[in-house]
Amino acid sequence: MEAAIVILGVLITVCACGVVFSRQSLHSALWLVAVLFLAGAYFAVLDAGFLAVVQVLIYAGAIVILMVFVIMLLGADAGAVKSVFRLPAYLGGALGGMLAGVLIVFALSGAKVELAPVKGSGLGGGTAEELGRELFGRYLFAFETIGVLLFAALLGAVILAAEQKRPLTPGRGLRAVQEVRKAEIKENVD
Amino acid sequence: MNYGELNQWFLREQQWALLLILAAPLAGALFSYCTISLGPRRQMLAGWIAVCAAFVSFAVSVCFWLFLDWSAEGGAANSGVFLFPWIAAGGLHLDAALKLDSLSLTMILTVTGVGTLIHLYAIGYMAHDHSKPRFFSYFNLFLFFMLLLVLADNLGLMFVGWEGVGLCSYLLIGFWHQQMPNARAGQKAFVVNRIGDAGFLLGMFLLAAEVGSLDFDAVQDQIAYLNPWAIEAACMLLLLGAVGKSAQIPLFVWLPDAMAGPTPVSALIHAATMVTAGVYMIVRLSPLYNAAPAVQFIILALGSLTALLAASIALVQYDIKKVLAYSTVSQLGYMFMALGAGAYSYAMFHLVTHAFFKGLLFMAAGAVITGCRHEQDMRRFGGLWSPMWGTFIAYLAGTYAIAGLPLGSGAYSKEAILWAVYTAPDTAAGLTLFNLVSWGGLFWGIGLAVAFLTACYMTRSLVLTFFGSYRGEGEASESSATMLVAMAVLIPPAMFFGHSRGIPLLESLRPWARQDLLLSQSELMRDDLYRALEHIALFAAGAGVVLMLLAYSIGRGFMMRLGNCIPERINPLCCKWWVDELYEYLIVRPLAFTARVLFFAVDRKLIDRSIDLSAEIAGASGQMLGLLHTGRIGHYLLIMLAGLFFGAAFWLVF
Amino acid sequence: MIGFQPSDLAQLSPFLVLTAAAVVMLLAELFHVFRLRLLFGISGTAAAWLFLLRNARPQDAAFRGMIFLDGQSLVFGSIILAALMISLLLGDKQHAAQGVTSGVEVEVLQILSAVGALVMVSTANLLMLFLGFELMSLCVYILTGLARKERASAEGALKYFILGSFSSAFLLYGVVLIYGACGSLQLAEISSRVPADNLLILTALGLFIFGFGFKVSLAPFHVWTPDVYQGAPAAITAFMAAVVKIAAFGAFARVLFGAFLPLASSWIKLLWVLSVLTMLIGNLAALRQQSVKRMLAYSSIAHAGYVAIGLVSGVQGSGYASSAFYLLVYSFMTLGAFGAVLAAQAGSDAQYDRDKIDSLAGLGWSAPFIGVVLSISLLSLAGLPPLGGFFAKFFVFRTAMESGYTGLVIIAALNSVLGLYYYLRIMVVMYFGRSHEVRTVSAPKVPAASCVGLAAAGFLVLYLGISAGHWLEVLGNTLRW
Amino acid sequence: MPFDIDLAGSLLTVLVGLPLAGALIVFLMPQSRENAAQWVAVSFSLAELCLGVLLLVRFQAYLPGYQFTQHIDWMPELGIAYRVGVDGLSVLLIVLTSLLSALVVIAAPSVREKRGAYLGCLLFLEAGMVGVFCALDLVLFYVFWEAMLIPMYLLIGIWGGERRVYAALKFVLFTAIGSLLMLAAIIYLGYRYEQQFGMPSFYLSDWSALQLGLREEVLLFGAFALAFAIKIPVVPLHSWLPDAHVEAPAGGSVILAGVLLKMGLYGLIRFCVPVFPEACAGAGPLFVVLGVIGIVFGALVAWVQDDVKKLVAYSSISHLGFCVLGFGVFNVWGLKGAMLQMLNHGISTGALFFLVGVLYDRAHSRRIADFGGLAQKMPLFAFVFLSVSLSSIALPLTNGFVGEFLILFGAYRFQPYAAVAAVSGVVLGAVYMLSAYRRLMFGDFMAPNGAQIHDLNRREKIVFVPLLALVLVIGVYPQPVLDLLRLPAQQTISQLSTEGRNPPEVNILGDEERIIEKGRN
Amino acid sequence: MTVTAFSLAVGLVLFLLGALGVLVRRNVLIVLMCLELMLNGANLSFVALAQAFGDLAGQVFVFFILAIAAAEAAVGLAIVLCVFRNYRTVDVNEAASLHG
C-alpha cells in the first residue's frame, strides 16, 4: 500500500505540474485528466472505492470533457494569450519566500501539528452502500441542497452560455433549459 | 399762585422736573424726526420743535437754580431721582438714577442755555438744507445724551451719555454724508473717542472691582480705604477717556476734522458742550483725582502741551473753522491745566466762559460762512465788517473775550487758571526743574505763551475775515434774523460772564478744592501774586493783539515773506506737527497691515489652506488606494494572498 | 436509517417553501403566467419567513445537527428574507432596463441564492455551511453576469467567480485542516476539542478569516467588491450588498463564536486590524469615486469594518447583538440606496453614463420620492440621527467601549466623517444643482413594486432608528437562545 | 384647568413637534403651491413663536432646576430617554430661535427658487434647534444636534451662492468631526455610568454624579469641547464659518449666526460644566486666551473684508470671542454677560444678515466696493443698519453693551490684562463696522448695474421692527433678562470647583451693599 | 512517515500547485483547471483523513465537493464564454475595464 501511495503521489505531483506549466490549454486539460485518474486511484487505495468511481466519472468524464469542449469552441482565439505566465518570476519567488518564511516562523513559534485522535476501528471503506446510507440518512438535507445547487448552476450556466438571438420573451429561458438538459442530463450525477 | 407756592410746588415735584429736563430733548428728537413725513416747507417745524424742547430743558434748569437753595452752608442742595435698576449682576449694580448738584446744575444751565441759542441759530443756518428733520432730531438727541451724561449719578450711566454724545457727534459730523471726507471725519471722531472710551471702561471696571459700586457718592466715600495704586490707575484710565472726549494729546486729532459738520454742530458739540465732558468728568471725580497727585501732574503736563501745540497750529490755519477748532483744543488744554493744578472750580469757570465765547465765535463764523456761500477759507474773506456788521460785532466780542483782553470774560477765567497753575503744589513731581524753576512756574510760562498765541491767532482771524478788502467772489450778505438773534443773546454773557470771577454754584466742590484757592473776590484782589500774574497775562494778550494788528496792517509784506520762507510742506505748524501722519504710519498702517496678514496669510493661507490640504490628502490617498484596485484579477489575487501572509506575520509578531 | 421525523420537516420548511417558490416561478413562466411571478416570489418569501418564525426553537437541531433553526438563524434568516423580499420588489420590471436579458431566472436565482444564505446561517455543520456558501456564491456569480451584453457585467462575473472560487477553495482547505485537527465537522464538537496551540487549527482559522473576509469584503480581501458591484446590474448589486453580506457575517459570527471562541485572543487582534483597515480603505477610496455603484461598493466595504467592530467586541460584551442590529439596518439602507439608484437609472440608456454620479443631477427635484429615499438611505449610511444607521453605529461603538476598544471607536468615529463626505456628495448632485445649470434627469417611470420596495426600505431605516433600543434588545435576546 | 396642567407637561414637546409637523405638511405640498406653503409655514412659525412666548411667560425665573420637564422612556434598556426641560438660558434661546425662525419664514418670499422646500427645511431646522435647547438626555441632545445639520446643509447647498457646495460640505464635515468625537465621549460616559451605578443612563443630572479620573475627564472634556468649540467657533477652528455664511442664503445666515453659533457655548454651559467641573475650571484660562484671540482676530480680519457678508461673519467670530471670554472667566458677571451676549448676538447679527440679504436681493452683489451712498436712496435701510451696527459694536442703550460690559467686567475680575486685551475689540469693532457702514452708505450713490435700489418694503419692515425693539428694550431695561439668567449663572458657578477662584455672587466688599442702597435712596 | 501524513502532504502540494497556477497563469481555462486542482488537493486530504479516522464524514464531504466542482466548472465555463463574447480573449488580465 505504501509503495502504491508513494508512486501515485509522485505521479500526481508531476501531472499537476504539467497542468500548471503547460503552454497549451489543451495540454493542461490532458494533464488534468491524468491527475484526476491518478487521484481516483489514490482514493481507491485509501479505501474510498465509490469515490474513486465517482471521481473518474464526474471529473474525467464530465468536467474535463466540458473544458475540452470549451477549448475547442473558443478555438484559435484561446491560443492568442500574449504570454503564458501572468506574473514575473520574481513575484512568484517573493510569494514563495513569504510562504516559506511564514511557515518557518510558524515552525519556530512552537506550535504543534497534531491530528485528532483516531476514534474507532477504521471503517472497511467507502463502499457505495455505506456512503449511500450516510447520504440518505444523516446527510439527506445536504444531498437535497446539492441538488438545488446543481439545479441553480445548470440554470445559470444555460442562460449565461446560450447565444442570445431572439429578444427576450417570457418563458424562453426555461425552454432553453429543457433543451440543454436533454443533452447534458446524462453527464450529470443523478 | 405766588412765588412761594410755586417754589413749594416745584420742590415737591422736582423729581418729575428733573426727568423733564431729560425727557424734553428726547421727545423733541422723536417729534422732530416725525416731521420727515411732512412736506419740505413744513419741515422747518422740526427746528422749532427742537428749540422748544431745548428751551423747556433750559427753563426747568433755571427753575432748579432759582428754587433750590444752592448756597446753604453745610451741605448744598441736591436733587435726585431713581428710575430703575439698569444692570445688576453679582453685587454690581448700575442704576438708571439721576443726580443734580451744583456742579451738574452749572453744567446743565450752560448746556441747555447755549444749546437753546444754538438750536435757534441752527434754524437759520439749516434753512436751506433738505434734511432738517434728521438734523434737528440728532441735535436734540445730542442734548439728551449730554444731559444724561451730566445728570448721571454713577459712572455707568455717565458712560451712556458719554457714548451717546459720541454717537451724535459722529452722526452730525457726517451729516452731509454725500461728501466722503465728512463721513470719514465722523468715523475718525468716533473711533478716536472709542479709544478713550476703552480707557473709561477699564477705569470703571477698576473702580467697580475696588469699590464695588460706580455711584459717585460711593466712590467718594471709599477713597480713604482704597489702595493708592488703584486710585492712580483708575484715574489714569479715566483720564484716557477724558483725553479722548476733550481732544487732548494724544487723542486730539479728531476735533479739527470734526469741523466737517454743519457749523451749529461745531458750535454746540465741538466747542461748547461735548468736548468739555472730559473736564466735567474729572471735576465730578475730583475727590479721586485729588488722591492721585501723579495723575494730576500728568494732566497738567498734557493740558499745557496740548494748549501750546494747538495754539501754534491755529496760528497758520486759513480755514476759519479750523482756527476755531484748534483754539478749542487749546482752551480745553487750559481747562486741563486747571484740573491738573487742582483748581476744579476754575476749570469749570473756564468751561462756562469758553462755552459762551466759543459758541459765539462759531456762530459768527457760521454766519460768515453762509454769508459767503459756504466759503471757509479766510484768504477769500476780508472786509466783511460792512456787509455783515451784526456778525462782525459778535465775532469781535468773542475774539475780545477769548483773547483775554481786559474785562472780557476769558481774561478772568484764564488768569485764574494761570494763577492756580503757578501756585500749584509741586507734590506731583516732587522735583523742581533743574532746581531753577518750579514745575508750576514752567507750566505757567507755557500758559502765558498760549495766552499770547491765542490773542495772536484770534486777531489774525478777525483781521483776515473782517478787515481789508473782500477777496471772495460774489456778494457777501448778512445772515438770517434767527441767527443774529441767537448771537445777540450770547454776546453779553460771552463778554461779561467773567465778572462773576468764578461760579457761585460750585459749593459742592468746596471740600475737595485746594484750600489756597478758596479766596473770595476781595481777598483775591488783595493778593499781590495774583495781581502780578494778572497784569503779566493781560500784557501778553495785549501784545499778541497789537503784534498781529501791526503785522497785518503795516507788515503785510513781511508776513508774506515769513510765510514763504518755510515751504508749507515742511513747516511744522502747517503740517500740524505731523501728528496725523505719525498716527497713520505708527498705528493705522501697521494695524491694517497686521489685519491683512492675519486674513491673507493666517486665515486664508495657513488655516484654510491646511484644512483644504488635509481634505486633499484624504482624497489623494483615496485615489492612491484606487490605484491599488487595478481591475486585474492577478493583482487582486496577489493582494489577497499578501493579506493572508501579512495576517499570519502580524499574528506571529503580536 | 433513512427517515426523518415530522419535526425535521418543520425545521426544513423555510428552505422547502423558498425552493418551492423558485420552482413555481419557473413553472409559472413556462405556463406564461408571467405577471404573477412577483406575487409568487413575495408570497413564497413571506411564507418562508412565517415558517422560520414559527419553527425556530432554542437549540433545536434537525438531521443530527445539520440544521439549526435557533435564535441566530432566526435573526439572520429574517434579515436575509426581508432583504430578499425588498430586493425582489426593487428589481421588478427593472431588470431589462439594466441589460439583463433573461426572464424569471433572475428572481429564481436570487431566491435560490437566498436559500443558500439561509442554509449558511442555520447550520452548525461545516459541510452544510460550505454547501450553503457555494450555493449562494454560485447563484450570485451567475446573477452578476446576467447583463450579458454589458462588458462590465461579464467582467464582474469573471472576477467574482475566479476570486470567489479561489477564496472558497482556501475556506475548504481550512475545513480540511479543522477536520484533521478535531476529527469533526460539528461546530460544537470542534469548540470542545479545539487545541490551543495546534498549528492546523491556527492555519484553519486564518483560512476561515480569508474565506469569510472575502465574502463580507474585509480589507485586504475586499478587492473584488468595487469591480463586481459596479459591473453587476444595480438590482443584483443591491441583492449582493445585502443578502450575501448578511449571510456571510452570520455564518462567520457563528463559526467564530461557535467554534473558535477558545482562540478568541488570536483572532480578536487580527479582526481589530482588519476592521480598521477595512474602514480606512473603504472610506478613503470612496471619496473621489465618480461611479455611484462603485462608491456605494466602497461604502459597503467600510460598513463591513463597522460590523467587524461588533464581532471584535462580541467576545466579552454584547457585540454580537450590535453587529446583528448593524446588519439589519445596513441591509435596508444599502437596499434603499442601490434601489434608488436603480430606479433613477430607469430613464437612461447607456450603463456607463448612467453609472456616473453626475447622472443623478437634479434627481431630488424631478423625482422627489426617489430623492427622499436615497437621501434617507445615504444619511443613514453616514450615521446621522435619528436614522437607523446612527443607532447601529451607536450600539457598535458602545459595545466596543465596554470591551475597552476605545481607540477603535475613535478611529471609527473619524472614519464616519470621511463617509459623511461622499454620501453628501451624492446629495450635492441630487439637490444642489441650479435648475438652469444642470441637465436635470427626466423623472424616471418607476414601477409600483419598486416604489413599494423603496418606501419599505426608507421607512424601515427610519423606524429602526426610532425604535432602535427595542430591536437591539429583541435581537440580543433572540441571539442568546 | 386640566388643559393647563397638560400643557405645562408637554409644552416643550409641542414646541419641538409643531415645526416638525409644519415641515412635513410643507414638504408634502406640491411644489407649485408656493404661496400656500408660505402661509402654512408662517402660521406654524407664528404659532411656535406664541408658544415660545408662552413658555417665557410661564417660566418661573426664581425656581432653581429645570422646568417644564418631561420624561418618556425611549430605550429604557440602554438608559436613553426622551427627557426635556428648560432653565432660564434655554428659555431665552428657545424664544430667540422661534423669533428668528418666524422672521426668516416671513422674509422667505425673497427666495425665488423652490420656496416650498426652503420653508420646509427652515421649519425642520427650527424643530432641531428647539430640541437642542431643551434636551436633557445626552443622546437626545446628540440626535437633535446632528439632525439639525442636514436642513442647514441643504439650506446652504441648495439656496446658496457660487461656492455653496464647498461651503456646505465644509460646514457639515467640520461640525461632524467634532460631534463624532463627542459621540464617542458620550458613549464612553454612558458606559462609565453603567459601570459605576449599575444601570445605564444618559440623563444629564445623573451624570454629574460620575466619578472620573483626571486624565479621563480631561480627555472626555476635550472631545466635548472640541465639538462645541468648532460650533462656536473658537478661532483656529473657525474656518468653516466665513464660507458658510457667505454662501448661505440670507435666511440661512440669520439662523446660522443667530442660533446655531449659540449652541456651542450652550453646550459648554449645559453639559461640560456639570459633567467635567474640574476640567472646565482648568480650561478656563485657555478659554479666556482663545476668547481674546477670537475677539482681536475676528475684528482685525473683518476690517479688511471686501464682502459685507464676510465682514459680518468675521464680526461674529469676534463677538463669539466675547462670549467665550465671558464663559472662561467663570464668574457670575462673565457668565451672565456671555449668556446675554448669546441672545444679543442672535438679535443683532441676525438683523445684520437680514440687512445684507435685503441688499443682495436688490443688487445681487455683496461687494462693499460696489456700493456707495445708499443712505440717500434707502434712508430707512441706512437707519436700521446703523442701529444694528451700533448694537453690534455695543453702544450703551443697545443690547450689545449690557452683555459686553458684563463680560469685560468679568474678565477684569478674572485677570485685568485679559480685559485690557479684550477692550481692544471694542475699539476695533467700531473701526470695521463704521468703516463698512461708511463705505456702503455714504459718499456718492453707487450700485451695481441693474440693481433695483429701493427702500425697505413692508415685509422687510415687519422683520426689522421686532429686532430693533429688542435691541432697544434689552439695552435700556435688561433686568428681566438678567433675572432669567441669574440662576443658570449661579448654578454653573456652583457646579465648578471653586477653590482658588472668585467666590460667586458674594459681594465684592462686605459692606458695599449698604452704600449701594444708600445711593439708591 | 505514515500513509496519512504522506497523503496529506500530497494533498497540500496539489492544493498549492493549484493556487500557484491560479496566480501565475493568464489563460482563464487553465486557471479554471488549477481551481479544480485545488479542490482535488482538498479532496485527497479529506479521503486520507477519513481513512485515518475511520470516519465517513470525510468521504461524504468529498462526494459533495465533487458535485460542487462540477457545478463550478459549468458556471465558470459559462462565464468564460460570456467574457469571450464581450472581450474576444481568454486572458484573465485583459478584462480590466473596471478599476480605480
| pLDDT, tens digit (0-9, with 9 covering 90-100), for B286-343 | 889 988 888 988 999 999 999 999 999 998 888 999 999 999 999 999 999 999 888 8
Q: Do A67 and E67 touch (CB under 8 A)?
A: no
Alpha-carbon distance of D374 to D372, in angstroms, equals 6
Report how far apart, in Å, the C-alpha atoms of D477 and of each of B86, D8, D391, E82 are: 6, 28, 14, 83
Closest residue, chain A, to E74 (C-alpha)? A157
**Which chain D residues are closer than 8 Å to B174 by Cβ?**
438, 442
In this structure, are residues C62 and C7 in contact, taking their beta carbons and an 8 Å threshold? yes
Q: Do A86 and B642 touch (CB under 8 A)?
A: no
Alpha-carbon distance of D200 to B571, in angstroms, equals 82
- Is it the case that chain A and chain D have 3 or more CB pairs lying under 8 Å apart? no
A78 vs E29, E40, E71: nearest CB: E29
> What is the model's pLDDT at position D30?
84
Closest residue, chain D, to C422 (C-alpha)? D169
Closest residue, chain C, to E64 (C-alpha)? C131
Query: Is residue E49 situated within a structural domain?
Result: yes
Interface of C with A in 103-122 (CB under 8 A): 103-105, 108-109, 112-113, 115-116, 119
Q: Do B91 and D507 touch (CB under 8 A)?
A: yes
Name the pLDDT band for B481 (thresholds 50, 70, 90): confident
| Maximum pairwise Cα distance, chain E | 51
> What is the model's pLDDT at position D507?
40
Q: Do D191 and C401 touch (CB under 8 A)?
A: yes
Q: Do B633 and C288 touch (CB under 8 A)?
A: no
The secondary structure of B328-360 as a DSSP string is HHHHHHHHHHHHHTT-HHHHHHHHHHHHHHHHH
Between B and D, how many residue pairs show a Cβ–Cβ distance under 8 A?
Answer: 178
Query: Is residue E98 situated within a structural domain?
Result: no
The secondary structure of B56-73 as a DSSP string is HHHHHHHHHHHHS-TT-T
Whether chain C has a CB inside 8 Å of the CB on D74: the answer is yes
**Which chain B residues are closer than 8 Å to C286 by Cβ?**
622
- Is it the case that chain D and chain C have 3 or more CB pairs lying under 8 Å apart? yes
The secondary structure of D184-247 as a DSSP string is HHHHHHHHHHHHHHSS---BHHHHTT----HHHHHHHHHHHHHHHHHHTT-GGG-THHHHHHHH
* From C26-35, D93-102, D433-442, the region with the lowest mean pLDDT: C26-35
Q: Do A172 and C32 touch (CB under 8 A)?
A: no
Is the model's pLDDT at D424 over the cut of 70?
A: yes
Residue E25, domain extent? 3-87
Nearest to C153 by CA among E98, B634, A172: E98
> What is the model's pLDDT at position D321?
94
> What is the model's pLDDT at position B381?
85
Query: Is residue D363 situated within a structural domain?
Result: yes
Q: Give the closest-approach CA distance of E80 to chain A in angstroms.
A: 9
CATH number of the domain residue E36 falls in: 1.10.287.3510
In this structure, are residues C406 and C379 in contact, taking their beta carbons and an 8 Å threshold? no
The pLDDT of D8-28, averaged and rounded, is 90
> What is the model's pLDDT at position D506?
42
Q: Do C284 and B650 touch (CB under 8 A)?
A: no
Nearest to C363 by CA among C342, C383, C333: C342
A102 vs B634, B638, B648: nearest CB: B648
State the average pLDDT for chain C: 88
Residue D430, domain extent? 284-497
- Among D381, D423, D484, most B C-beta atoms within 10 A, so best to mutate, is D423
**Which chain E residues are closer than 8 Å to C203 by Cβ?**
none
Query: Is residue E17 situated within a structural domain?
Result: yes
Whether chain B has a CB inside 8 Å of the CB on E23: the answer is yes
- Measured N-to-C along each axis, helices D416-441 and D308-329 cross at an angle, to the nearest 10 degrees, of 160
> What is the model's pLDDT at position C349?
52
Whether chain A has a CB inside 8 Å of the CB on C5: the answer is no
- Among B624, B632, B641, most E C-beta atoms within 10 A, so best to mutate, is B632
Name the pLDDT band for E75 (thresholds 50, 70, 90): very high
Query: Is residue D441 situated within a structural domain?
Result: yes
Q: Give the closest-approach CA distance of C185 to chain E in angstroms.
A: 8
Question: What cell numbers appear for D259 in the block?
Answer: 442660533
**Which chain C residues are closer than 8 Å to B623 by Cβ?**
288
pLDDT digits (tens, 9 = 90+) for B535-580: 898 999 999 999 888 888 887 777 777 777 777 777 777 778 888 8
- Is it the case that chain B and chain D have 3 or more CB pairs lying under 8 Å apart? yes
Q: Sign of dihedral through CA atoms D379, D382, D388, D390?
A: negative
> What is the model's pLDDT at position E94?
81
Query: By 3-state DSSP, what share of chain D in percent is helix, strand and coil, each rounded to 5?
Result: 75, 5, 20
**Which chain D residues are closer than 8 Å to C416 by Cβ?**
176, 180
Nearest to D264 by CA among D370, D148, D434: D148
Q: Do C413 and D184 touch (CB under 8 A)?
A: yes
Q: Give the closest-approach CA distance of C222 to chain E in angstroms.
A: 13
Query: What share of chain B has pLDDT > 90, as a percent?
Result: 42
Stretch (H or E) spanning A168: none
**Which chain E residues are closer than 8 Å to B629 by Cβ?**
99-100
**Which chain C residues are closer than 8 Å to E49 by Cβ?**
176, 179-180, 183
Instruction: Indicate left, alpha or beta for D57 from its phi (over 0: left) and psi (-120 to 50: alpha).
Output: alpha
The pLDDT of B632-647, averaged and rounded, is 87
> What is the model's pLDDT at position C68?
80
Q: Do A28 and E30 touch (CB under 8 A)?
A: yes
> What is the model's pLDDT at position B514?
73
Is the model's pLDDT at D250 over the cut of 60?
A: yes
Is the model's pLDDT at C382 over the cut of 70?
A: yes
> What is the model's pLDDT at position C63?
64
Query: What share of chain B has pLDDT > 70, as a percent?
Result: 94
Closest residue, chain C, to E16 (C-alpha)? C170
**Which chain C residues are closer than 8 Å to A152 by Cβ?**
109, 112-113, 135, 138-139, 142
Name the pLDDT band for C130 (thresholds 50, 70, 90): very high
- Among A114, A129, A139, A141, most C C-beta atoms within 10 A, so best to mutate, is A141
Q: Do C138 and E35 touch (CB under 8 A)?
A: no
Q: Give the closest-approach CA distance of D487 to chain B in angstroms.
A: 11
Alpha-carbon distance of B126 to B135, in angstroms, equals 9
Between D327 and A117, residue with greater pLDDT: D327
The pLDDT of D455-476, averaged and rounded, is 93
**Which chain E residues are closer than 8 Å to B632 by Cβ?**
92-93, 96, 99
* From A106-115, B415-424, D57-66, D479-488, the region with the lowest mean pLDDT: A106-115
Q: Do D412 and B209 touch (CB under 8 A)?
A: yes
- Sequence-separated (6 or more) residues with CB below 8 Å from residue C77: C14, C49, C52, C56, C69, C118, C121, C122
> What is the model's pLDDT at position D399?
92
Query: Is residue E95 situated within a structural domain?
Result: no
Between A24 and D74, residue with greater pLDDT: D74
In this structure, are residues C151 and E97 in contact, taking their beta carbons and an 8 Å threshold? yes
The secondary structure of E40-63 as a DSSP string is HHHHHHHHHHHHHHT-HHHHHHHH
Query: Is residue D455 situated within a structural domain?
Result: yes
- At C147, phi and psi to the nearest 5? -80, 85
| Residue ranges of domains in chain C | 9-479
Is the model's pLDDT at B399 over the cut of 90?
A: yes
In this structure, are residues D378 and D456 in contact, taking their beta carbons and an 8 Å threshold? yes
Report how far apart, in Å, the C-alpha atoms of B491 and of each of B359, B388, B392, B398, B487 are: 10, 16, 11, 7, 6
For the entire predicted model, the pTM comes to 0.91
The pLDDT of C415-426, averaged and rounded, is 92
> What is the model's pLDDT at position D511?
38
pLDDT digits (tens, 9 = 90+) for D474-513: 999 999 999 999 999 988 888 885 443 444 444 444 334 4
**Which chain B residues are closer than 8 Å to D420 by Cβ?**
202
Name the pLDDT band for A166 (thresholds 50, 70, 90): very low
* H-state helical runs in D364-495: 374-377, 379-392, 399-414, 416-441, 458-476, 479-495
Whether chain C has a CB inside 8 Å of the CB on E41: the answer is yes
User: What is the total count of domains within chain D?
Assistant: 1
- Among A149, A165, A178, most C C-beta atoms within 10 A, so best to mutate, is A149
> What is the model's pLDDT at position D505?
44
Is the model's pLDDT at D316 over the cut of 90?
A: yes
State the average pLDDT for chain E: 88
State the average pLDDT for chain A: 75
Q: Give the closest-approach CA distance of B248 to chain C in angstroms.
A: 58
